[in-house]
């Protein structure tokens, strides 16, 4: 019998409750995502992650920690990392130095998280900076991406993202390119709207999706965009077998784990104008080719949605509506760090870490948004 734990859920507070432990112990749950609300201090975070690992060592503890405005832990010694656009700006001055700085950013990012027991960060962003002046004809594009993107040129994005990933891997952490096949060309924010990108497949593959193909041998995970590309498929990319199986896995040759973006976002609540229940959203994503379904901020509402999704997916398995995939679960467990990491005090004495700190670009570059 094949086994898969595709659900990534959230918790409400700074320590595990009885309900958290019950949900995280369920075999359909494969991990969780942490937010700023789950943070008080390094000691508290380390105790929280240790309690999760004691509960189940195979749970993947994730966080959105990119640098810039998307950095969940900012105090008690955590380095304020620059937005990735700072690396793109540095590239325009000195491309070789920019790649070295990008590796340093990835190393610091991952080493600090791992020292506190966090396994995985959803970084780096591979979206193109279409808002950059001169990037393309037309008005500015996505502000939800904005300075989270490295650059407008997919070649520059690829090389800087590879360098960030290299730094993360040096610290023993896998990485996740997002948001496939590209979120930067649409103005709408998929947290609150259903963005629509009307370009052709050829145009998207030539620009936004190019970094995924160029990194097929190094990318460990990909997160799909809640964007509809109607000239390719009427479904958002995270619900589209054409995007995930025919293009990402088939044409681009990607073999790692595929995550949904948060399925509670507005961009994930509809297919073809029809509203989805949370369980229907998870099943649609798994059917399309996602390995892991992300359910964020549901514990703040009491967690009933999480319980309903766990029960709904279990029922779908019993009735044959959904069949687990051992290969998909192997892709999840491959993201769990294998080598031990130094604790915080050891990290602060590490020559490699200290060298990376010295290579970081200015952490307070002027914003272009």
Query: Residues with catalytic annotation?
Result: 191, 261
> Closest Cα to residue 130, out of 144, 148, 151, 155?
151
Nearest-Å Rg of the Cα atoms of the chain is 19
Query: Which burial class, exposed, middle or buried, applies to 314 when counting CB atoms under 10 A from its CB (0-12, 13-18, 19+)?
Result: middle
- Token look-up 């520059």 returns 156
Between CA 89 and CA 72 the distance in angstroms is 24
> Closest Cα to residue 257, out of 285, 287, 290?
290
Between CA 352 and CA 172 the distance in angstroms is 13
Tokens standing for 31? 């991990």
- Contact indicator for 285, 293 with CB cutoff of 8 Å: yes
Between CA 98 and CA 86 the distance in angstroms is 9
Between CA 216 and CA 210 the distance in angstroms is 10
Query: How far does the chain reach from its first CA to its final CA, in angstroms?
Result: 51
Q: How far does CA 363 lie from the centroid of its chain?
A: 22
């Amino acid at each position: 019998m094949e086994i898969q734990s595709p659900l990534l859920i959230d918790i409400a507070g700074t320590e595990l409750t009885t309900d958290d432990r019950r949900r995280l112990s369920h075999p359909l749950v494969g991990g969780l995502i942490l937010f700023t609300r789950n943070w008080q201090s390094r000691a508290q975070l380390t105790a929280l992650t240790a309690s999760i690992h004691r509960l189940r060592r195979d749970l993947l503890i994730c966080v959105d920690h990119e640098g810039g405005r998307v950095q969940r832990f900012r105090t008690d010694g955590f380095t304020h990392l620059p937005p990735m656009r700072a690396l793109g700006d540095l590239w325009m001055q000195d491309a070789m130095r920019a790649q070295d700085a990008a590796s340093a950013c990835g190393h610091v990012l991952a080493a600090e998280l791992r020292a506190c027991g966090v396994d995985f960060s959803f970084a780096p962003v591979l979206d193109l900076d279409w808002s950059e002046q001169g990037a393309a004809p037309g008005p500015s594009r996505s502000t939800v991406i904005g300075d989270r993107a490295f650059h407008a040129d997919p070649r520059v994005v690829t090389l800087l993202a590879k360098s960030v990933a290299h730094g993360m891997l040096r610290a023993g952490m896998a990485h996740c390119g997002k948001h496939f096949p590209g979120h930067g060309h649409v103005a709408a924010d998929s947290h609150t709207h259903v963005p629509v990108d009307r370009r052709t497949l050829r145009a998207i593959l030539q620009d936004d999706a190019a970094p995924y193909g160029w990194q097929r041998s190094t990318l460990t995970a990909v997160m799909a965009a809640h964007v509809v590309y109607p000239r390719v498929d009427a479904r958002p990319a995270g619900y589209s077998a054409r995007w995930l199986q025919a293009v990402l896995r088939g044409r681009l040759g990607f073999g790692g784990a595929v995550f949904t973006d948060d399925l509670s976002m507005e961009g994930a609540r509809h297919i073809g104008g029809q509203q989805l229940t949370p369980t229907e959203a998870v099943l649609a994503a798994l059917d399309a080719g996602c390995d892991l379904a992300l359910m964020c901020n549901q514990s703040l509402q009491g967690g009933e949605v999480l319980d309903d999704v766990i029960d709904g997916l279990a029922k779908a398995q019993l009735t044959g509506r959904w069949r687990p995939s051992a290969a998909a679960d192997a892709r999840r467990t491959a993201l769990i760090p294998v080598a031990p990491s130094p604790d915080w005090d050891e990290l602060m004495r590490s020559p490699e870490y200290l060298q990376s700190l010295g290579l970081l670009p200015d952490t307070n570059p002027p914003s272009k948004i």
